[in-house]
Chain A
Amino acid sequence: METLGLLADGFAVALQPVNLLWAIVGVTLGTAVGVLPGLGPALTIALLLPITFHVPATAAFILFAGIYYGAMYGGSTTSILLNTPGESATIITALEGHKMARKGRAAAALATAAIGSFIAGTIGTLGITFLAPPLVELALQFGPADYFSLMVLAFVAVSAVLGSSVLRGLTALAFGILLGLIGIDLQTGQPRFTFGLPELLDGINVIVVAVGLFAVGETLYLASRPLGHATLTPLKGRAWMTREDWRRSWKPWLRGSVLGFPFGALPAGGAEVPTFISYFVEKKLSRHPEEFGHGAIEGVAGPEAANNASAAGVLVPMLALGLPTSATAAIMLSAFQSYGINPGPLLLQTQPELVWGLIASLYVGNVMLLVLNLPLAGLWAKILAIPSPWLYGGILMFATIGTYGISQSPIDLILLYLIGGVGYLMRRFDFPAAPTVIGMILGPFAEQEFRRALTISGGEFSVFATRPLSAMLLGLAVLLLVVPLLLRHRR
């Protein structure tokens, strides 16, 4: 019941007119960047990080959370109308939803995606509300060694479990950790990996890395490909969801939500796996399995719900443990740092207004998004008509502002384009970008806990194995690495 009281306080924060305005800006911007191929919430939040110097933390996080949720709604519009999944988690939506659109049922597909997103987002936010406080209770028992091991587990989970190759995921992670080490070591004052450049003493800015990988790298990659012309399926007619559609959608919405949430909340936060599971579950349970692959509404409703619920789930370890498991969450975590707020289990106690205001704004934002997306789907689809020369020209322009604005130094631009080049290679050779961003932001925290643990133990490395919790977490990490290898060898 204490939770409900805190949540009520949160609503008092979220419903203040100024904060409502931030939420509207956030969800609108989020939907727009979700719709635009090539833009995503991670990139958008990174570009907006400088706003943290000008507005209170609550406002900034309400804005960021709105972008985060909004992008999920917007992404489904692109998948359905354009058949280009913006991210791996919307592959299924693209598959099944686009088939519906080609049959002239785009409006119904968009509606079931939006309502499914709303239901999943709300269930997911309920999950955050009631799961975060007990998780914090648990996390308060953690010592530095346990924390370090938990971070190792998260590292392994985000880089080895997701994505197509363990090796490439871990390579991306190691690269990110090295990027995070650049600059002056805060404990000893020694410069690391600065190559004698004074510009590097403060380390590489998160904005440079995120924008380089997600904007410059992606643009280079797309430019290097032959010019393809994805055809936009027109959103014609007012053929909205029929009674039959509702009957066939509501169970997949609920099942997808329940399925997606834990996948996001576990350190293995990834929205891709639950969408696939949801798709196959719905296919099994459907009375019309033959329609799957030809535009079955269940195949949009379930995976879309799973995707959104898992996105909500990611916020649980982020808020309760300070543990980001997606690129977007990692960038939000770095926003805490720019406010001087230490993310971690103490966050809920030291910043109740911020955290509960943020959670309450997720409920509010979901309602806004439903209103914004159901009647206005046609309007959002118009954004897709922006010709790609202008779209990518604009993306690079914003990338420049976001980076050059940090210090007005061309060095930052050079770094941006170098990292963009790396991002191009990562995209071309199928390295996931999220582990790099997570490694860069979480790496310094992991190092801090690592050194703290060893200082407490007097330099004994055994501390990581003798503390039961730490040993268990490290064991899990090893299992995550070894089991897939064994399975592959048996095949």
Chain B
Amino acid sequence: MQRLRRPEALLALGVIGLGCVALYETTRIPVSPMYARVGPTAMAYAASLLLTGLGVALLVEAWRGRWTSPPEETATPLNLRAIGWLLLGLVLNIGLIGPLGFMPASTLLFACTARAFGSRRPLRDAAIGAIFAAIAYFGFAQLLGINIGAGLLAGWV
């Protein structure tokens, strides 16, 4: 079972899982008899079977040790602290962009990302992030005509 714990094997299992979910969802697509032969499921079956099959093939490759990652991937441990900061920023962004609006939420996201990339000066990062967010908001979003919601600041911008 040791071999199944290789990261490549786990990934292959994930691919198989995704393929199976897709297969199951395909069986739930309602098909009217009119389209029985070339209905909406033909391509869906083909793609999900292909994905599942490829997942099995990847698993075999990983099992036999023919699919391994290069040493520069495996030599160093994952920088979990950085990933943690980044995920924190992303989750905060999802939660806050509605109630607070784009600019405050993005400023936080910016500061968390900067922290993930090794910056140690959160206040300066937040300030830069706020300036960036303002430029992004007024330049990019308005130029493209995307309405992204001013949130808290709606009253005075």
Contact = CB atoms under 8 A, between A and B. Distances in A.
Interface of A: 48, 50-51, 53-54, 165, 167-168, 170-171, 174-175, 177-178, 181, 185, 187-188, 190-193, 195, 216, 219-220, 222-227, 387-390, 392-394, 396-398, 400-402, 404-406, 408, 410, 413-414, 417, 420, 425, 428-430, 443, 446-447, 450-451, 454-455, 459
Nearest to B91: A417
Nearest to B113: A393
B86 A401 contact: no
Contacts of A429: 7-8, 11, 69
Contacts of B113: 219, 223, 389, 392-393, 396
A389 B94 contact: no
Given A224-B79, A394-B132, A397-B133, A178 B145 contact: no
A51 B149 CA distance: 18
Given A178-B48, A225-B76, A413-B93, A397 B129 contact: yes
Given A393-B132, A405-B148, A400 B97 contact: yes
13 contacts: A171-B51, A181-B44, A188-B32, A192-B26, A223-B79, A387-B119, A390-B110, A393-B114, A394-B132, A397-B132, A398-B140, A401-B106, A408-B148
A450 B43 contact: yes
B40 A192 contact: yes
Contact of A178 (B14, B22, B58, B133): B22
Contacts of A389: 113-119, 125
A39 to B, nearest CB: 14
A398 B136 contact: yes
Given A177-B47, A224-B79, A454-B38, A192 B29 contact: yes
Contacts of B4: none
Interface in B125-157: 125, 128-129, 132-133, 136-137, 140-141, 143-149
Contacts of B29: 185, 190-192
Main secondary structure of the interface of A (DSSP, over half): helix
A404 B93 CA distance: 11
Nearest to A414: B94
Contacts of B116: 223, 389, 392
Contacts of A187: 35, 40
Given A188-B35, A396-B109, A459-B38, 18 more contacts: A50-B146, A53-B145, A178-B51, A191-B29, A192-B40, A193-B25, A389-B115, A393-B111, A393-B114, A401-B137, A401-B146, A405-B144, A405-B148, A425-B14, A429-B11, A443-B47, A450-B38, A454-B37
A149 B113 CA distance: 45
A446 to B, nearest CB: 8
Contact of B39 (A188, A406, A414): A188
Nearest to B98: A410
Interface in B7-21: 7-8, 11, 14-15, 18-19
A420 B73 CA distance: 19
Contact of B40 (A48, A190, A400): A190
A174 B102 CA distance: 35
A281 B80 CA distance: 45
Given A177-B43, A413-B94, A393 B110 contact: yes
Most chain A C-beta atoms within 10 Å of own C-beta, residue among B18, B97, B148: B148
A195 B54 contact: no
Interface in B82-103: 82-83, 85-86, 89-90, 93-94, 97-98, 102
A428 B82 CA distance: 16
Contact of A54 (B42, B51, B97, B144): B144
Nearest to A439: B47
Contacts of A190: 29-31, 40
Given A397-B136, A405-B146, A223 B83 contact: yes
A392 B97 contact: no
A170 B102 contact: no
Contacts of B7: 429
A185 B89 CA distance: 36
Contacts of B125: 389-390, 393
Given A50-B145, A167-B54, A174 B47 contact: yes
B58 A171 contact: yes
B1 interface: no
Given A48-B144, A171-B58, A178 B38 contact: no
Contacts of A222: 117
Given A401-B102, A429-B69, A392 B117 contact: yes
